Amino acid sequence: PMYDFAHPIEDAVEGITHSICTLEFEDHRPLYDWVVIETGYKTSPEGNPKQIEFAKLYLTNVVTGKRYIKKLVEDGVVDGWDDPRLVSLSALRRRGFTPESIKMFVDLVGVTKSQGSVEYPMLEYCIREDLKLKSKRMMAVLNPIKIVIDNYPENQTEYFDVPNNQENPELGSRKVPFSRELYIDAEDFMEEPPKKYFRLFPGNEVRFMNAYYLTCTGCEKDADGNVTLIHCTYDPATKGGNYPERKVKGTIHWVNAPTAVNAEVRLYENLIDEEKGVYNEEDGSMNINPNSLTVLNKCVVEPELADAKPEDKFQFVRTGYFCVDSKDSSKEHLVFNRIVSLKSSFKLN
């Protein structure tokens, strides 16, 4: 009961013009107005303070209640209030969401008195839109496998001038090293591919982004049958990755092996199991997604990223948008958080 007196009196004394509350305080408004009038406190030149109510913002498959987040922290499900799987402002910032993307989201959602929920992919849409032209596009290999170009000169390194963002020339360009040994993502190679697989496999030619056309000639395996090395040849006439006399269907990214920088990459998914919803109806517990965090410790990135600072944001080509972790990353041990994947089925109405 003291709240109903303290709230209007404090607002009147401090010259508050509008006190914004959520819908559960709508029934308290008559008492709020009565206390302001009957106490006779001096109010602002604009008149007595007014209480205005609006509906809470509910995001699908997201935990927002403080007592529930507190339990997640205490139980060790998340590593703190700024865990990138949460939606507190500190968590969103650590994951890589920008102030502009959050403002865009708020503008799209608007203010209403009708209680409802907003799809989390709308927030992801906003950060994609904000970073699309702002972020430099870099090459990073999350699950590396080495390639040797057998007909490329040993002990030779050449540099390709690569735009930092093809859609925004103002971000400039960088020099990307290329040599006989490269890393590609293991997903970009198959020894026995299915139909319509256009990436690397024995006998197939693909474009190595901004570099050359390479043809796979074979691979080496360990005792367990795992591919450990891929052999290729390159065509010097295809320098730059564009060769009008011959077209290829597949294009993959890569990182130069001798200059590769090691990194840890953290892939985040929804903290809550999407199919089950937030809370278990039987006991009220939260339906936690056991795969909400995947840590990849053997990633390699191009040398341009060696000096990346906490909260720097990049697009890793063909992969997603990433942010240097503000808590765990260092020059000696780079840590990147995935903000969001490159594409989504979500569309604005």
Contact 213, 246 (CB under 8 A): yes
pLDDT of residue 302: 98
Average pLDDT over residues 249-265: 98
| CA–CA distance, 27 with 114 (Å, rounded to integer) | 16
Residue 190 makes CB contacts below 8 A (sequence gap 6+) with 197, 199, 200, 201
Q: Do 219 and 165 share a structural domain?
A: yes
Per-residue pLDDT tens over the stretch 299-339: 999 999 999 999 999 999 999 999 999 999 999 999 999 99
Q: Do 98 and 68 share a structural domain?
A: yes
pLDDT surpasses 70 at 284: no
pLDDT surpasses 90 at 216: yes
pLDDT of residue 339: 99
- Residue in this structure with the two tokens 């006190």, named with its chain if needed: 19
Average pLDDT over residues 176-200: 97
Is the residue at 271 inside a domain? no
pLDDT of residue 282: 64
Structure token pair of residue 18: 């509008």
More confident site: 300 or 245: 300
Report helix angle 99-109 to 120-131, nearest 10.
130
Structure token pair of residue 345: 């089925």
Task: Please give the model's pTM, rounded to 2 decimal places.
Answer: 0.89
Is the residue at 327 inside a domain? no
228: domain CATH number is 2.40.240.10
pLDDT of residue 115: 83
Per-residue pLDDT tens over the stretch 193-210: 999 999 999 999 999 999
Q: What is the DSSP letter of 167?
A: T
83: domain CATH number is 1.10.1160.10
Closest by CA to 249, choosing from 206, 217, 202, is 206
- Transcribe 237-266 into DSSP letters: GGTTS--TTS--S-EE--EESTT-EEEEEE
| CA–CA distance, 247 with 144 (Å, rounded to integer) | 26
pLDDT band at 43 (very low <50, low <70, confident <90, very high): low
Percent of the chain with pLDDT over 90: 78
Average pLDDT over residues 251-258: 98
19: domain CATH number is 3.40.50.620
Contact 136, 314 (CB under 8 A): yes
